[in-house]
Structure 1
Amino acid sequence: MFAKAFRVRASTAIKGSDRRKLRTDVAAAFPNLSAEQLTEFIPNKEELNVIKIYTHKGEAVTVFTINKNPILFEIEKALYPTVYTLWAYPDLLPAFSTWPPVLQKLAGGADLMLPGVVVPSSGFPQVERGTLCAVTLLGNRAPVAVGIATMSTAEMLAAGMKGKGFAVLHTYMDHLWEFGDKSYPPTLAPLVTDPAEKDSAEEEEMEGQEPFISCTADPLQHVDIGDLSLKEQDSYARLVGKEELSENRAAETAEDDNTEVQQETEDSRTPQEQMDELFNQCFFHALKYKVKKSDLPLLTSTFLRSHMFSCCPAGQQLDIKKSSYKKFSKFLQSMQHQKILQVKELNKGVESIVEVDWKHPDIKAFLVPEGFSSASVAQESKSEDREQLYHAPEIIPLYGISAKMLPLFQESGHRKGSILSSSEVRNIIINYVKTNELVDETNKNFVKVNAILCDCLLDKSEQDEITNLKWDDLLSRCLERLQPLHQVTFFGQEPVVRKGNIEPISITIAQRSSNKKVTIIKNLELYGLDPQCVANILQQRVQASATITPTPGTKDRVQVQIQGNQVHHLAKMLLEEYQLPRKYIQGLEKAPKLGRKK
């Protein structure tokens, strides 16, 4: 189901009442969880979000995340645990084992066939058709897949372990797993050790290999090849080929590892520890020598790309995913706990550094490493880096169903507060009209107004006069009466849904004393732009003074003010360099008119 990338439609935080309801639903779906485990599973104070997604096949799925890690997904009101949940509760579902090479097929979207299931000496768990089950790898009790049994245990044995055994919904290494922190399965010893598993475990201990990489058991030891169909024989031939290829690759990897060990004898630290050290070095270098008090508040994304990246030594590259923190926000949280700086979410979904303790012992003790070749970077090159690294956010208008509009959407199964895209609203309205046979027989361009359409879409003064509406008028009226929302997705971050329509970047020209003009730019922060960065670039290009001042009537927002009418330069920067859509910029028409060249 998640073998290919899915599309995120909306992401919202769960309220207290919905959190309690979810805990009740989880208790009903997984009755073997204790009360203590339920409270741990759905905690009271952790960040819990519900995310609406569409799979590559167009299926609507609800995903529940804790601290941005998916723990459950819901399809047609049925709850399913993710592998992250099963690693914490490995005995939550009845489990069936398979061989490690099969995992790659499952992650690619294949279902688990019965010839690929290991038959343990203790026998299979007793399950019925339609039971939700976990799939583990031989020698490790940590589940790597979630699937539904297509037949009961008795039917599996009666079929001679042939045919499809489990319809796989989600696996380790698929796109739902990638949506989380991408952690690896733990190594959990089997409760009852099979002879095959015991042999496999012994060989792994001798060779020092992980059970996910090597497979010492013979995948065909429980199955007679002569009993298989041609299709199944072909599948097994490919399975064995995969094993041989894996063994060859393992041998090559071992040789490469030996070479790397010889090369890295000088540094005994792991790559993760080295990356952590590099992040700490660039962090303190940037705070001590790059960031000034006047730069605050400073967007965390700007601090990373414009300050820390420029402090990275030549030949090295910062990569947060290779560190122990995995996310830059967690790295900054660690520094905040040490009281080095303070980070706040000044605008929803956009974090900024608001305070730095430059007297902190760690900052005062930091010295630039000897031989550092990139200690200073020219302002021009920094400006170019900022321009190149900026990615315009993806902005999608959304619509919420209000109480007044609810009767129109009840037939399609939606509730008050449901969030829809414009295309979804259009499809629901078209289906409603066709289902209720409201298309005008004499002119199909018109729709007959029934009682529900009348109450939802017409004003009181219109209700006695209008009996038909044009399709376009019907749809536009519907969108106007729904609650406006918008979804913003910044590069490398999860989508954020906000109320109302997004405010455009506002450009105005103000008159000052002596008939001087100044250009004022507002709302840059809403689009992930650092006002200070924009001011510095403009100041260089037009050779005029630029200042940052608080925006009147707002909290924690600032505006850029630069001398003269600079709308031409702003238009080039915002439209051509930053690739922002023109509809999100207001005031471009105020550019000075160019005189004729003689």
Structure 2
Amino acid sequence: MFKKPLSNLKSFSPLRSSDRRRFQNEAYDTYPKLKEQSSQEGASQLMPDPLQSAKFSTHIETPGIVYVADKIPWWIKLDQSVPIPTVYTMWQHPDMLPILYTWGPVVNKLTKGADLMIPGLVAGPDGTLPVLAKGDLVAITIKGYQYPLAVGTMALPTSEIKPRSGMKGKAVHIIHVYQDYLWTMGDKSDPPDMRSISDDEYESETEDAKREPTESTKPTKPVKPVEPVEPTATKTEEPAQTLSTSEIDALLRKSLFQALQFKITPERAADLLPMAASMLYASYVLPSRPRDSGEVDIKKSSWKKVQKFLKTIEKEGVLKLKEQRGETMLASVNWSHPCFQGLRSYKTLESSSQATQTNSDSLGSRPASGTCPAATPQALGPIEIQDFYKPLGNSVVAFFDAAKQPKDAMYSPAQVRQLTLDYIKQNNLVNQRNQKMVTIDAILCDCILTPSEYNTIDALTRDQIVSRLLDKMAPFHSIAFPGKNPTVHKGNPKPIEITQEIRQGRKTVTKLAGFEGFGLDMDELCKELTKLCASSVTHNPIHGTSPKNPMHEIMVQGPQIKNVSQLVMDKGVPKRFVCVNDKTAKGKGKK
């Protein structure tokens, strides 16, 4: 909320004694622990003297009051809210609010204006979260650190949150965080005993989700200390455990070259590049590992991160990278590099899984849901959408009566065109001087012309007549899903909208909306996009839609237009109903 300077900050004025006591009692009622502490330490620790206040507005026009003493902001109130402590106050009283824990790099994102997401939460020292309701104030700090670094309100109850379980969405709406503009109004001091947290101490959502089962079993290992050394229990895990760092490095290099030469290929590179580094690693490098390679993790390599791995390959002249909106992208590949000469394809993990899938299909078995996102829609076929029109209004009904056609039926555009041509032929309306023009008779005049055109237009072409007639009719459309009977819906079919834009100044996101009209399941799309894009995927209801039939919007982190549009088309959605809007580049619009 304070990622930008305060606007409309009024002049500070000292609080009167009665206002000071009233504000102090309000703080005591909100934070009972403070009253007990102040009786021991004195009220001056809670409300330094002299305490001054000033009204302000945030950059999003939220009104509030800030309370300052000795040029340090101690409290704020936002739009009739309870007193909210700043980080300076919470450092003096670190236990005044319930605390949620997260990782160091997540706090860095909070300082840039982001809210705390559910994947960034870490269970407390007791392995649980404090009991909090939606809207409750909560402090946020780094795991293993005592002093709060941010304050916010719960976006949902903690009873509905399961840390490190793969849940998505916002956990806390951040109000104030260390190093924001409210903090800069003070002496800009750092938190007590603050130590630096490196990026290596943070584990991403995907990695945590994968490693969570093993982490959750750690407390049970001391119960049976003999089991891990039994040969029968560890025999199948030995290859993955005995891989050295140099062996993992060699496997990653081999998998990268395999992916570049035989998956991306020189012929497809123009269509696939530029490509995000995260997508290259998740969708191309990992599936290209040798079939018997075992578990290979970039974190166990000498590079630790995908970006460092690719930059090392870039120094060798194999490929070229570029930074685009804060994300590393693969820009081009040097296909003439010696590393590609004599390179032979081998059996990869992906080819093995495809062979297994083919065998199961040949035996008549159906693949499990989610095993191959693109296989199911391609096997069943595309979604068939057809437009229909129904006569609407007295003038259009009169035309269908004159054409001796049912006025309550629905017609395809081809049928409307044919009955119009038949009407023109039966009434000899073709202009004898210009065979391309059709004379407008009284029925057509009332049906397709506006009152201002009655005396100005005497003839139109056949296409113009059909187009105007369709505009006067009520639109319908039918959707036929693979293997199901078609269903008819009122109105024109709304396309799926894929929008790529920049949020919070520098982050690129890709939004997907309108997929419900094509029978696509939201949860299934989120799971497949998470795997396909190797990125965070969330969904939220669209404001203003019907509560009975709510519409949702899926948001994917990063520039993922190609992946998102290709997935929905693989699901059977016709390309003409996929509307792409790239707001991140000048001169680009809807396609």
Do the two structures share a fold, i.e. TM-score over 0.5?
no
Give TM-score scaled by structure 2 length.
0.35
